[in-house]
Every structure is written in structure tokens, then in C-alpha cells.
A and B are shown apart, each in its own frame.
Chain A
């Protein structure tokens, strides 16, 4: 009889655990939706032509930030993409065993991925502002960001290169193609959509980043950047600046713009990744 009761109690306890987990799911969804909903509700009414396209004068504007973000994307992706893709090609095509070099490259990539962005910011500050005496600039921030997004590009490019069937490479070799030719005319075209997806994700990362930039590009919110070497700001940085300088409404409006852009980019990446995912390639 006692044993029966203990058994019943245990079943009840675990049933309670089940309800706790369903409650947690509910809380989790509510919390995540709340983040977007509150920012959107607060920010949407304050989105105006003045805010987005106006000149920064009496009223704040995010035109400098939009341009700054574009500059940063251009700089960081054009540096990180070739290096990241090249490095993924080396890791997948040229190395067979787990040699010491490959291991240390992998450890380096993993470590780079784990470094907090503020530490990248210090690095950029030390290199561009202190050592090169170049003051705060978009180019300094962009180069620092390019190191930061390198692991993103390397990892996902590697994945899409690995998903190209081995037989395609072997076929190409059997036809007498060289290694370089095989890579550029067979492997890369097959993996193209995966690589594009990884670049889009990297762009999303650049747009979201702000801790690196606070130390490297100077957070000049009120001047349109004149070129790569001028100081500037970015959308994410503007959200922080407005938020911490007493413009929470403008911060929320900028946040909405940033959210829309980032979510769009992520959706594009997801759709691309699904459409040309591993499954399709294997069927071809």
C-alpha cells in the first residue's frame, strides 16, 4: 500500500514537471514576443521621414547611422568574405587528416568566435586609435568587425562546401581538371547559395553589433560620414546613444528600423538556406 502511494506520488511529481515545462514554454514565448512588441509599440509612432531621411539638426535623424551602417557592411564583408571563403576552402579541400596546422586553425576560429565583442573593440581601439594614431574612423571599425565576423563566414562556408558530394570532385578530377579548376568551376558553384547565406548572416551580425563600434568609430551621431576614414555611427549604436541620452522614443523608433532590417535579413538567409539546403543538392 505504502509503495503504491510512493509510486503515485512520483507520477504526480513528474506530471507537475511536465506542467512546469509547458509553463516555461509559455513564459519563454511571451518574453521573446514582448521584447519585440514593446519596442515596436513604443517606436512605431515616432518613425517619420525626418527621423530616417532628415538632416540632424533640431530633431534627431538616423541618416548618418544608415550611411555608417552601409559603410561598415561594405568594409567588413569585403575584407572578411574573401579571407573567410579562402580559409574554408583550405580547411575542406586541401587538408585530409587532422594535422597540427588544421587543428590550430580550428582552435583559432573557435576562439575568435568566443571573444566578447567589447574585447574586439579594445583591440580596434588599441590598433587604430592608439598605435596607428588614426583617431576614430569607420574604416577602423569595419576592419575590426571583419575579424569578428570571420568565424561566422568560415564555419558556414565550410558546412556548405562539405555538403557538396565527393563524387562531383572526383568526376572533375577524372576529367583531368586541376585542383584550382575543380574548386572554382565545380565546388564553389555548387556551394554558392550556402556561401551567399553565410554572407547574409554576416551582414546581419555587422548590423547588430555595437560594442565594438563604441570603441572604434566614435559614435558621432549628428554628422553624415564623409568617407571611409571619417568617424561615424551605426544604427545599433544610435539605439544606445538615444536610449542613454534621454531620447527613449527615438531609440525605440531606431530600434524598429534596425529590427525590421535584421529580421528581413535573417528571413532571407533562412529561406535561401532552406531552398538550396543540403537535401536539394544531394538530389541534383
Chain B
């Protein structure tokens, strides 16, 4: 009788272990499915169109020109500009939260920033649409166009701020306090210790924040398509309707079919490839940041 009960429990344990294992392996399964579906649909299309056509300058569907170079360029500019703005402001914010602002205020400010990290990206896009685009159009733009790379970069810079601030603040906080005290003891001012000792010591964490925000800016769709304009042309100015990789996919998706739809999938493959590169460099950086301490 006890033998039977024991065997039942043992069998139940084995079954549940199998179920949990399946759940855990599901992630691998899902990831493989995503890769297979993307590549199986996208790569043949790239091969069929030809590398030079697909990475060419011209996107003109009715004449069979599927060049996405202009979108790669637009994505590159938007990502670079938004990350540059976001990192400068975000990192400085993290530094001031770390040592320079009243310590009582740090808790509430951090909570607010965490809360803002959860705001839907489409809200940032809407903010861009009703505030930034009209402002740039009326007051800044030389040609009367508000849409374009500058609007998208500003919107994205605000959007990635919470990420940059909290990741770099965490990595600053992880630097041993004795570094700071040591620098002070050697006669450095408070500011010198922070900028010359603590910041370099938190370098890899800050770099991880940068890579993370590059990934978000590159992969963001909704906030961008509301302010970018959407013309598939080579970006020549900050104030000009252009189209990023993500915008290309989202804008075409609901209307296209056949070859044109597959072209969007192929665009997705390119985007996927870029994000994977970023992910790999992020995990390498994170490994380095953890290894240091």
C-alpha cells in the first residue's frame, strides 16, 4: 500500500517535472518558430529580388524596386540622434540623482521615472504629433515641415530617458563607496570624484544602458510612425518626411499583399538581424559589468 502511494508520488513528480520542462523549453520553441517563419519568408524574397535591388536606394512598388537603403539610413540617423540626446541628458540626470541633488528627493524622482518607463510608446508618439511636430513646423523648421528625423529623435530621446537614467543610476550605485571616499581623501573635490572616479568605474553599466536604448530606439515603431512622415526617400535633412525600417513594416502592413507584403517581411529580417547584433553586444557588456565586481 505504501509502496503504491510512493510510486504514485514518484510518477506525479516525474510528470510535473516534464510539464515544467516543457514550459521552460517553450521559449526556445517560440524563438525558433519566429526565426524559421521570418527567414523562410524573408530570405527567399531577398534572394529573388537580388541583393543590389533589395539594398538599393529606390523603393517603388509598382516598378518592382524594393530598395530599403533609404530606410536603413533613416533608422540609423534617428537611432543615433535620439540615443545621443537621450544619453547625454539621461546620464547627467543619473549623475545628479546619484550625488548632487537633495537625497530626500531621489526616491520620489526615481519612482516617477520608473512609472514613466511604463507609459505606452503610442502616447509618446501622440505627444510628438500634437506638440513637437507643430512646434518644430512653426518655430524651428526652415522649410515648414515638422515631420522627420528631428521630431522622431526628440520623441524617442524622451522615451528612452527612463531606461538610461535607471540603468546608469543602478550601475553608479553598484560602484563601491570606498572609491568615492578614497578620492575625497586624496583631495579631490566632490565633483571631481564623481566625474573622474565613479563614472569611469561604472563605465560598463553605462555602456549597457546605451546599447539598451539603441535597441529600443531602433525597434520602436508606433512613436516613430506618428511623427516621421513616411515617404520612402533618402534622408537629406532633419525636416523631411522619411521612413524608418519599422515604419516601413507598419505602414505597409495593412494595405499590401503578395510580393509587397513579403518585402515587408524581408525588411523585418533586416531589423531582426540588427537587433540581434545589439542584443549580443548587450549581453556581452552585461557579463563584463557583472564580472568586474
Q: Which residues of A contact B (CB under 8 A)?
A: 10-11, 14-15, 17-18, 20-25, 27-29, 31-32, 34-36, 38-39, 42, 82-87, 89-91, 93-94, 101, 104-105, 107-112, 114-123, 125-127, 130-131, 147, 150-151, 154, 178-181, 183, 204, 207-211, 214-215, 218-219, 236-237, 239-240, 243-244, 248, 251-252, 255, 258-259, 262-263, 266-267, 270
Contacts and interface: CB of A to CB of B under 8 A. Distances in A.
B178 interface: no
Given A10-B192, A11-B192, A123-B33, A24 B96 contact: yes
| The 4 residue pairs across chains A and B that have the minimum distance between CB atoms | A116-B219, A86-B23, A24-B92, A208-B120
B276 to A, nearest CB: 7
Interface string B230-242: 0000000000000
B221 A211 contact: yes
B126 A252 contact: yes
A178 B12 CA distance: 9
A221 to B, nearest CB: 12
Given A86-B20, A122-B249, A112 B38 contact: no
Contacts of B192: 10-11, 14
Contacts of B264: 122
A184 to B, nearest CB: 9
Contacts of A219: 254
A119 B268 contact: yes
A119 B119 contact: no
A249 to B, nearest CB: 9
27 contacts: A10-B192, A14-B196, A20-B92, A23-B92, A29-B112, A35-B124, A38-B127, A38-B131, A42-B130, A86-B22, A87-B20, A90-B21, A101-B25, A115-B272, A116-B220, A122-B265, A126-B41, A127-B33, A130-B41, A147-B30, A150-B27, A178-B13, A210-B120, A243-B130, A252-B126, A255-B123, A259-B123
Given A17-B191, A28-B161, 8 more contacts: A18-B100, A23-B92, A25-B97, A39-B123, A82-B23, A83-B26, A118-B249, A125-B253
Nearest to A10: B192
B275 A110 contact: no
B112 A32 contact: yes
Give the residue among B30, B88, B114 with the most A Cβ atoms within 10 A.
Answer: B30
A94 B21 CA distance: 9
Nearest to B248: A118
A115 B9 contact: no
Contacts of B112: 29, 32
Contact of B95 (A21, A118, A259): A21
Interface residues of B, number: 89
Give the residue among A122, A214, A215, A252 with the most B Cβ atoms within 10 A.
Answer: A122
A29 B196 CA distance: 26
Nearest to B283: A110
A263 B115 contact: yes
Nearest to A80: B26
B278 interface: yes
Contact of B23 (A15, A83, A262): A83
A244 B20 contact: no
A114 B249 contact: no
Nearest to B25: A105
Main secondary structure of the interface of B (DSSP, over half): helix
A97 B13 CA distance: 20
Contacts of A82: 23
A37 to B, nearest CB: 9
A111 B31 contact: yes
B96 A25 contact: yes
A260 B220 CA distance: 22
A198 B8 CA distance: 33
Contacts of A131: 37
A90 B250 contact: no
Given A236-B122, A263-B115, A14 B189 contact: yes
A248 B12 CA distance: 57
A204 B118 contact: yes
B130 A252 contact: yes
A215 B127 CA distance: 23
A127 B34 CA distance: 9
B51 interface: no
A109 B112 CA distance: 28
Contacts of A21: 92-93, 95-96, 100
A105 B115 contact: no
B174 interface: no
Given A24-B89, A118-B221, A35 B127 contact: yes
A239 to B, nearest CB: 5
Contact of B253 (A31, A108, A111, A215): A215
B168 to A, nearest CB: 12
